A and B are shown apart, each in its own frame.
Chain A
Amino acid sequence: MEKVNSIHLDISGQICPSCLLLTLKELNQHAAAVREGNTEIVVTTDDRQATATIPDAVSKMGYVAEVSRVDAGYRIRVSAKR
């Protein structure tokens, strides 16, 4: 099985919409690798709004986002559509 490279971002406590903008910036920088399926972007955040805006924004760009709960916050995993 191919190893997936994860890029981790921790964006907690920053001024909105840091979480969304920094995630999109990272996604654009690694667009080709994420599209090929060997890289994913994993964001840890306390921003509730981002749990709605990130999946919405990346799905329009052709990616998928999975939101899961972590200690006192959320983890949003952005990867290629399978």
Chain B
Amino acid sequence: MGESPFLLIAATSAVAGLVAGFVMHRSDFCVTAMFRDLFLLRDFFLLRMLVLLVVVSAPAFELGRAAGLLGPYPFPLLGPGSLATLIGGVLFGIGMVLAGGCVVGTLYKLGAGSVVAAVAFLGLLAGSALYAEWHPWWSAFARATAFGPAITLPQWLNVAPAALVLPLAALGALGALYLYRSQRRGLLTRPGYATGHIPPWQAALILAALGFVSWLFIGMPLGITTSYAKLGATLEALVWPEHVAGLAYFQAQGLNYTPPFANTPVSGGAGPQLDAIAAIQYPLIIGIILGAAVSALLVKEWRLHWRIPPRHYASALLGGMLLGAAARMVPGCNIWHLWGGVPILAVQSLLFLLGILPGAWIGSRLLVRFVIR
């Protein structure tokens, strides 16, 4: 740390986190709710916001790449798709519904004073760190079931990068048509009565812009889950340092790249050390929590509510653990894959999306059966 590339990276992350936390709290931009309410309530309203985010990001990323603004391409930390990603996606979907929020949703709810989200956060740390125990055989399984070395769909289909532009342009055109029709039918707005409410469609556009800015300055879109393992490892190392030092997962340096405005490569991994992963992700995590806290304080809604049925705490803890472990098994979270990977048609991200759908359905069934009664 301390070298110049880290300053720009950390500053960009912190600002993106503050804005994202504030906006997500005000609009209740909950990705978990988007998938959960689809199954639980047959409500497509929030899912439309996710579609909006993706169809805006896809052409924006493609134009940015073509103009030489966004690099590296594909961005680092994406791997080839495998059966492991699909299974991880299913577990992720179950975990996020039971936890009451995804890895990012938990942060903004925690920032706004939700005690049950704080419990889910602890579960996330525990689950992420626990994954290191079975990482060697899980990564062997992922390698054995990989669908080839391709990172993105165009690479997999072996088409020239230019051919990527056409489907994306089509997606963009469809998106524009979809937007226009949805707006006319009133499908993009719904009356919001909460103080300082930001309509989710505006939040989707702001979050798409943040993803672009993140890729521009940091070299990749928003992502945070490696840091859950890192933070978990840091805490685990306080009580069990030899064990943490002996785990292969905490030794690996999965990130090796040269950031956009740097001359020298940087690296980072899930171990407790302060490295490039810490510089990218810790400020984002802290930013989201603080941004949401500021938002809640400004509308005078910051209040701890902890007198809730104990089964809610159990659900948040177990769901959080499952979510944390699943995020490492994929690897990556919904923000990373749905807001970053799907717009560039990353194979891993598309498989994750395929897994999260049945996962959210199972999670919804479990939630109404055992938790919300």
Residues of A near any B CB (own CB < 8 A): 12-18, 20-22, 46, 48-49, 51-53, 55-57, 67, 69, 72-74
- A51–B37 touching, CB < 8 Å: no
Which residues does chain A contribute within 8 Å of B309, judged by CB atoms? 14
Judge whether B204 is part of the interface by a CB distance below 8 angstroms: no
A18 to B40, CA, bound (A): 12
Question: Quick one: CB contact mask for B329-373 with A, threshold 8 Å, 1 for yes?
Answer: 000000000000000000000000000000000000001100110
Please report whether the interface of chain A is mostly helix, strand, loop or mixed according to DSSP: mixed
A15 to B301, CA, bound (A): 17
- A15–B303 touching, CB < 8 Å: no
- A72–B300 touching, CB < 8 Å: yes
- A74–B308 touching, CB < 8 Å: no
Residues of B near any A CB (own CB < 8 A): 25, 28, 30, 32-33, 36-37, 40-41, 43, 45, 99-101, 114-116, 190-195, 197, 300-309, 312, 315-316, 367-368, 371-372
- A55–B191 touching, CB < 8 Å: yes
A67 to B36, CA, bound (A): 24
- A13-B307 in contact given A18-B372, A72-B301, A73-B301 (Cβ < 8 Å): yes
The smallest C-beta distance from B199 to any residue of chain A, in angstroms, reads 10
Which residues does chain A contribute within 8 Å of B28, judged by CB atoms? 48-49, 52
Which residues does chain B contribute within 8 Å of A20, judged by CB atoms? 41
Pairs of residues from A and B, 10 with the lowest C-beta to C-beta distance, nearest first: A13-B305, A67-B193, A15-B100, A72-B303, A48-B194, A12-B305, A49-B28, A51-B193, A51-B194, A13-B308
- A48–B307 touching, CB < 8 Å: no
- A69–B114 touching, CB < 8 Å: no
A24 to B158, CA, bound (A): 51
- A14-B36 in contact given A46-B301, A72-B301 (Cβ < 8 Å): no
Which residues does chain B contribute within 8 Å of A53, judged by CB atoms? 37, 41, 43
- B192–A52 touching, CB < 8 Å: yes
The smallest C-beta distance from B123 to any residue of chain A, in angstroms, reads 12
The smallest C-beta distance from A61 to any residue of chain B, in angstroms, reads 12
The smallest C-beta distance from B61 to any residue of chain A, in angstroms, reads 29
Which residues does chain A contribute within 8 Å of B40, judged by CB atoms? 17, 21
- B36–A13 touching, CB < 8 Å: no
> What are 22 A-B interface contacts by the 8 Å CB criterion?
A13-B115, A13-B116, A13-B305, A14-B116, A14-B308, A14-B372, A15-B315, A15-B316, A16-B30, A17-B33, A17-B40, A18-B312, A21-B372, A22-B372, A49-B28, A51-B192, A53-B37, A53-B43, A55-B191, A55-B193, A67-B194, A72-B300
A14 to B313, CA, bound (A): 9
Seed contacts A13-B114, A17-B33; 9 additional CB < 8 Å A-B pairs: A13-B115, A14-B308, A15-B116, A15-B312, A15-B316, A16-B100, A17-B37, A51-B192, A52-B191
